[in-house]
Amino acid sequence: MTRSPRFAPPKGRNSDQKGAALVIVLAFVVLLTTLVVAYLSRTTTDRALARSSFDNTSADLLARSALDIIIADFKKEMTDGGTPPSPSTNIVPQRSGSFGDVPNLIRRSHRSDVPPPPAVASFASAVNSTDDASLNGRAISAARWNKHYLIPRRAPAIGETATTVYTDPIAGFIPPDWVFVTNLGPTVLTAPNPAVIGRYAYAVYDEGGLLDLNVAGFPSANSTDAGYLRTIGRKGVLAFADLTATGLSFDAVDNLIGWRNYYNANPAGSYSAFTFAANPTEFIRYFLETGGPAGADRNRNFGVVTTPAGYSSANPRTDQAIINRTELLALRKSLTFAQDAMQYLGTFSRETNRPTWGTSGTVLAGRFPLSRFDLFTTTPPPAANTSGIQALFGLIYVPSAGSVAEHWRYVGKIGSALLSGIPAVSGSNQDPDLFPLLQYALPTATIGEILSIGASLIDQCDGNDETTWIEFAAPDPSSPPLKAFGIDRAASTEADAPSRPATVLVLNRAFRNVGELSYAYRNGSTSLDFRSTTSTDAPLLDLFTYNTANPRLGTVSLNTRNSGVLAAVLRGAVSQDSTSSAAVVSFVTQTAATNAANSIVSDPVLGTAANPAIGRAAVARLAAAGGSRAGATEEEQESIARALAEVGQTRTWGLMIDLVAQSGRYPPNATSAADLPRFVVHAEKRYWLHIALDRFTRQVIDQQLEAVYE
């Protein structure tokens, strides 16, 4: 059989060419496969990137939701705790767990922590954030939980010293457990649940009980200048807290303050090598706001930094704020100061500048500024002060005439007729003048007692030595006017003046803090009592203020468990003042400050741990708890009130919530209780939320959300 010529292979084609078509087809297949694989690879990568972005967003949203839940729980605790708090222990957030070794820690998410009512439990499951690693190996080490140094560090190990950088906490700190979140919200799990979308763990610290480093601390920490030490020792602002009590060195304090107040403290030298004069007057002037018009409010908001006019390369000085804790950590690292001091230092403090005693929180618009007493600096008062004196004190000056010495007439805010009674303070948001305010605080006192206290307060801050007396109307209009006497260095020449104590201490200067009101006398005979549990004068501590800014920064919670913070405030306080620059002034020593602070916190009856302070009026009780550590005399023991009352507060819950949130899921094969730790983490987010909650209004005074990147 012969092949048809039509189907004969073309001439010239050999056997090598027979597979060409196959090769070409295979080449196309390879090419197409490569293209498809490349495309799939690219889309897979793209999808993974998108997934990562999605997971990060999920973790972020989960973290913010968790913070909202925690804050809502605290607000509920406030609501359920009553306003005013009932019982009084509800003035502070309830603590869960045994945190004796970690005084800053208020609460954490932990399976065994059951805070007493009205606190809300955390819904933590039995999966620990440190000990139980996730299925993909994610865990939060204890050292990471202490990245902020708010937990005391463990003792240095072999080969380490106190200056070795590490954040490992003491063994007593048990890291938080995870709170799992399903589509129904936080849920306590006993076995894996496919509805879980993520988890979070948190610890809450009492940042309001720390020293706000935006205000605290004074320079020239090793100054021996007597005048400067006395100025600092009279306290009045948190800036006069002695940071060396926290373990910081003199150089560290000077470097901190030199950086913070580079303009207003005017240090010499440069960053990390600042030096100060023995009496840095610019620093004092800035924090005490001296030099303003007489009677004007001292309302500097220390949370606002102002760059001075003329700031330029040729004039580059400006103050700085420690904006958040991350910056504080960077500052510590840069200046290499003691890590252990960090547990006493914060960056966020706020207080609604309003009293809490009795019904004062609603009746009064705010506290009475001590600066108003400056209107009495000179006697007779300048014409510019007279209207202010009547508006703010209800007094009219009467010059001496014949045998009648100069004095004041109590006529009230308006008019010129003598009053026989003191108007009552009622309504809400009132700003009464001095005497109605004193009567409001001391409701059982007579008008004579009230006016005598007022006269004595004027004697304390006026510049002369003559005893002030105030004329007021007798209840019977036909009777002659009555007199109320203060106490000054010179006894009154009036025949009907009461007998005076053998020794009196008269400041003859402006009040520095509300505690100094204790130098005033009642009825010209007994001084006010700010150092006993039975004090009836204590409400005054809550009704006056040196700094009128609202909200006020640079405050410390009187209910702090961190006694080292209180010790820093107390250290260096003047325990025996003097009106003579040559006289010896006594100060509260470090030992006395530490002992007093420990008593204030831990005294089983009077201490704040057992019996929290509900307002600044409780400072008298705290002075009773720790005052004996400062000395035996009334003045020495009241140094506690002079140091603490002005910078102390009780109405704000200043919290720092340290929260870690992880988005993720449980694998399908995780079903038993033993599988509970086998969570698959997709993404993680950590926040430090600084928040100031007003205990009485439940309002957020301020907050700051600080993302933590590790």
Residues in the site for another protein, rule: CB under 8 A?
5-6, 35, 39, 42-43, 46, 49-50, 53, 56, 258-259, 262, 270-272, 304-307, 309, 311-314, 316-321, 323-324, 326-327, 330-331, 334, 700-707
Q: At closest approach, how far in Å is the CB of 393 from another protein?
A: 31
Specify the residue, 336 or 479, whose C-beta has the smaller distance to another protein. 336
Comparison of 54 and 156: residue with beta carbon closer to another protein: 54
The 3-state secondary structure of 37-66, one letter per residue: HHHHHHHHHHHHHHHHHHHHHHHHHHHHHH
- Nearest CA among 677, 676, 679 for reference residue 667: 679
Query: How much is the CA Rg of the chain, to the nearest whole Å?
Result: 34
Nearer to another protein by C-beta: 331 or 645?
Answer: 331
Minimum distance of another protein from residue 271's CB (angstroms): 4
CB of 258: closest distance to another protein in angstroms? 7
Which among 547, 555, 539, 550 is positioned nearest to 649, based on CA atoms? 555
Query: What is d(CA 257, CA 634) in angstroms, rounded to the nearest whole number?
Result: 34
Q: Is 332 within 8 Å of 535 (Cβ atoms)?
A: no
Please report how close the Cβ of residue 685 comes to another protein at its closest, in angstroms: 10
Beta carbon of residue 386, minimum distance to another protein (angstroms, whole number): 33
Beta carbon of residue 274, minimum distance to another protein (angstroms, whole number): 9
Peptide bond into 475 cis (omega under 30): no
Let me know: does 235 contact 512? Beta carbons within 8 Å.
yes
Q: How far is the CB of 37 from another protein (least distance, A)?
A: 14
Containing 563, the helix (H) or strand (E) segment is helix 563-570
Task: Name which of 600, 573, 581, 588 is nearest 512 in CA terms.
Answer: 573
Q: Give the burial string for 462-501 (b: 16+ CB within 10 Å, else e).
A: bebebbbbbbbbeeeeeeeebbbbbbbeebbeeeebeebe
Closest CB 52 distance from another protein, rounded Å = 9
661 contacts 684 by C-beta, under 8 angstroms: yes
Answer whether 414's CB lies under 8 Å from 399's CB: no
SS (H, E, C) 616-633: HHHHHHHHHHHHHHCCCC
The minimum distance between CB 214 and another protein, in angstroms, equals 11
Say how far apart CA 358 and CA 637 lie, in whole Å: 25
491 or 705: CB nearest another protein: 705
Cβ-proximal residues to 574 (8 Å cutoff; 6+ apart), any chain: 230, 233, 234, 235, 585, 586, 587, 588, 639, 642
Q: Which is nearer to another protein, 71 or 363 (CB)?
A: 71
| Residue among 186, 154, 193, 238 at smallest CA distance from 676 | 193
* Shortest Cβ 392–another protein spacing (Å): 27
Q: Is 64 or 665 the residue whose CB approaches another protein more closely?
A: 64
Residue spans of beta strands (DSSP E) within 344-454: 345-346, 368-369, 395-398, 407-410
**Least distance CB 226 / another protein (angstroms):** 29
Query: Widest CA span of the chain, in angstroms?
Result: 162
- Considering the complex, state which of residue 115 and residue 654 has its C-beta at the smaller distance from another protein: 654
**CB-wise, 44 or 579, nearer to another protein?**
44
**Closer to another protein at the Cβ: 75 or 500?**
75
- Rounded Cα gap, residues 513 and 166, in angstroms: 40
Instruction: For another protein, give the closer residue by CB, 318 or 532.
Output: 318
Return the closest-CA partner of residue 386 out of 423, 366, 411: 411
Taking the least distance from each CB to another protein, the nearer of 386 and 703 is: 703
